[in-house]
Chains A and B, each alone.
Chain A
């Protein structure tokens, strides 16, 4: 009996020793969490902006708050994977980061889930808050207060290669007045400049929110219902069965059926956006694409994979037109990213202090210099350094007046993924009617019959 105990305790000791070792192996073990501020953000080869300011402000913050450690948790994933990872992390109070870098599209869903902290009392006392434009503040607004401090906003435009357009015999500067003129230009390029992909508009789930924001929304908000095409802004009801929705799908169907775009297989690669900005456009293999205002950033960044000093001369910008040219003539989807505090954070005061550093004027300029997004701060907008971030800044600034924002409700992300699925079906050969019907069913399923409205 006694000997058995000896063996047993030996076993227990070894086991607990290995367990302890295991704990040490993962450096950021739980016992140190009291004085650790965890910061969760995305970092990829194409997006290092947040990492740059986080590294810098970590040093500043740790100096100002002795004994507090800032633990940076950069997630190396493309956008849609980053969002999944963030949701996974937020669900559990053990892993919920204190400071979160987040797309505003999921703000309300996360508020409803109880993941985010209402920052109203912090921003009220914050001197800098008045520097944020009212539109910008909306980016971080939930149903009952502010849940995020916006750091950037963005719009979408058509980026086109002037040289290819000229070669195809299209006059530049070019500005289409309606959808047909886009099609005409693309067809002309296909005919006159063989070997060049005429255009790109994202489809499918691989690009995630990029498909909704950089492609479908530009179309949808330019149809008959305008700003109410996705959901009725007053009642919050989701629109189903609308002509605008199926027309938007039909437009995508046309460009895919006529092979005016990259192969659908390339479109379903999550890295297609990077490929277009760093390869296809600089190498003159694509004539135009609809993409975000941050595009030039990779071209002006020295030493980046997509560095392209001639971009200013080659590339032109056009606003995306409404379907038939109806008022106000153009559309763009505007979004933005926030920095939020987890509702589960044990040290929200410290977290907000860190957010103040991250979103300060200087830090914002540094962030935007690397990311190429547009500012949400008045003082930054007036700063010469901001205006000179890249040579396109001025042209781009016209698009914001046509901005449409995404509905800030919890269902948005789910409905957005239904849009992505519908476009994926289009590119794989399903008819627009069928894809629209499946979308309608899914929306009714998600939002409930009484939260949808049928429009013609």
Chain B
């Protein structure tokens, strides 16, 4: 139990890369004594699960069906005429390609900065004992609690004063800063689980702090860093409000802003295209998540990502 609480701060699972294995063990154990033994309770359990399944999948079906429907509406229906036309209509530089490219820049650069800074910051916090650690970590934790969307009004005003409006770099730095507290927290917890014995050997050999960090610690925590990266990537790729307020030029706007304008302008007419655009825009993060799930285990990403 103490193990869990130690790391349970933000998300138990994230800090427990091994839990995936535990879970597999658990699900292999289908007919254990805690399984529903009585027909009634088993029936009840499955009824609930199936109900939940239906409730959750129905709103999603529209996206998949309307995207391929020649005469799409807001109703969920099997298309009478299947088509790829919705995709081909929106696949052009102005609507999709450039915004998707901008999104990629925002997300990848921000993630790169976050991971670099988080690894650097986490290292001393994880490896040295100091009175500095606790207040720092509490502050970081406190930072994860601040509602960032509420800050958009002052951020806009601040950015005007410092000439950062319409600046891609300004947007990246703000996105990076707002995911940094959580990333430091997660990274530190991962780093804690890397045993110190190997580094101690390297120190004895005269390696510097950065060398041990780069050559020993980071390679050992690759899965953890991958999880943090995906967490940051998903957050920045999906962020709408920040670029919506800060990036003015259409040529700099990411897919989230582009798809929103599309919704405002054509969404109530071009239902099929809206659905197609939604699928395209979701695809990278959904695939990335699925991939990480496969590689890192079921729960590697549980929690942490702001909804």
Residues in chain A within 8 A of chain B (CB atoms) = 1, 3-4, 7-8, 11, 14-15, 18-19, 21-23, 25-28, 30, 44-45, 73-78, 81, 85, 88-89, 91-95, 269-271, 275, 305
Q: Which of B102, B214, B251, B264 contacts A7 (CB 8 A)?
A: B214
Q: Could you tell me which B residues sit within 8 Å of A by CB distance?
A: 98, 101-102, 105-106, 108-109, 112-113, 116, 156, 159-160, 163, 165-169, 172, 208-211, 214, 245, 248-252, 261-262, 264-266, 268-269
23 A-B residue pairings within 8 Å (CB atoms): A4-B208, A8-B210, A11-B116, A15-B113, A21-B105, A22-B106, A22-B109, A25-B168, A26-B102, A26-B249, A27-B252, A44-B265, A73-B250, A77-B261, A85-B248, A88-B165, A92-B165, A93-B163, A94-B167, A95-B165, A95-B249, A269-B268, A270-B264
Contact of A76 with B261 in the complex, beta carbons under 8 Å: yes
Instruction: For A3, give its contact among B112, B166, B211, B264 (CB under 8 Å).
Output: B211
Instruction: Name which residue of chain B comes closest to A43, CB basis.
Output: B265
- Decide if B248 touches A21 in the complex (CB within 8 Å): no
- Hey, which chain A residues are within 8 Å of B214, CB to CB? 7
What residue in chain B is nearest A30 (Cβ atoms)? B167
Query: Contacts A85-B248, A92-B163, A270-B264; is A22 near B105 (CB within 8 Å)?
Result: yes
A271: B residues at CB distance < 8 A? 268
Q: Write out the residue numbers on chain B whose beta carbons fall within 8 Å of the beta carbon of A77.
A: 261, 264-265
From the candidates B98, B168, B210, B248, name the one contacting A23 in the complex (CB within 8 A): B168
Interface centre among A8, A14, A26, A93 (most CB of B within 10 A): A26
Of A22, A45, A91, A270, chain B has the most CB atoms within 10 Å of the CB of A22
Assembly CA distance A85 to B260 (angstroms):
14
Residue among A23, A77, A95 with most chain B CB within 10 A? A95
- Measured between beta carbons, the chain B residues less than 8 angstroms from A93 are 163
A94, B211: Cα distance in complex, Å:
42
Chain B contacts for A11, CB-based, 8 A: 116
CA distance A329 to B52 in the complex (A): 63
Min CB gap B7→A, angstroms: 29
Expressed in whole angstroms, the Cα–Cα distance for A92 and B159 within the complex equals 9
Q: Smallest CB-CB separation from B161: which chain A residue?
A: A92
Tell me if A89 and B252 are in contact (CB < 8 A).
no
With A78-B264, A270-B264 as known contacts, state yes or no: A26 contacts B160, CB within 8 Å. Answer: no
In this complex, the member of A8, A85, A92, A271 whose beta carbon has the largest number of chain B beta carbons within 10 angstroms is A92
Contact B168 A26 (CB under 8 A): yes
Chain A residues within 8 Å of B248, by CB: 73, 85, 88-89, 95
The docked-state distance in angstroms from the alpha carbon of A106 to that of B223 is: 54
Task: Tell me which of B102, B109, B113, B264 contacts A76 (CB under 8 A).
Answer: B264
Answer whether A25 and B101 are a contact pair too, CB < 8 Å, given A94-B163, A305-B269. Answer: yes
Known: A77-B265, A92-B159. 4 other contacts (CB 8 A): A7-B210, A27-B98, A91-B160, A94-B163
Bound complex: CA of A117 vs CA of B168, how far in Å? 28
Tell me which of B116, B159, B169, B265 has the highest count of chain A C-beta atoms within 10 A of its own C-beta.
B265
The CA-CA distance from A21 to B251 in the complex, in Å, is 15
For the complex, what is the distance from the CA of A18 to the CA of B250, rounded to whole Å?
A: 21
Rounded to whole Å, the gap between the CB of A306 and the closest CB of chain B is 11
Q: How far is the CA of A8 from the CA of B156 in the complex (A)?
A: 33
Q: Pick the contact of A94: B166, B172, B261 (CB < 8 A).
A: B166
A94 CA to B160 CA, complexed, in Å: 9
Give the nearest-CB partner of A97 in chain B: B248
Inter-chain contact A88/B265, CB cutoff 8 Å: no
Report the Cα distance A271→B266, complex, angstroms: 10
Please name all residues of chain B whose beta carbon is closer than 8 Å to the beta carbon of A44 when the two chains form the complex.
265
Report the separation of the CA atoms of residues A74 and B258 in the bound assembly, to the nearest whole angstrom: 12
Residues of B within 8 A of A91 (CB): 160, 165
Question: Given the complex of chains A and B, what is the CA–CA distance between A45 and B269 in angstroms?
Answer: 10
Collect the chain B residues with CB atoms within 8 Å of residue A19's CB.
Answer: 109, 169
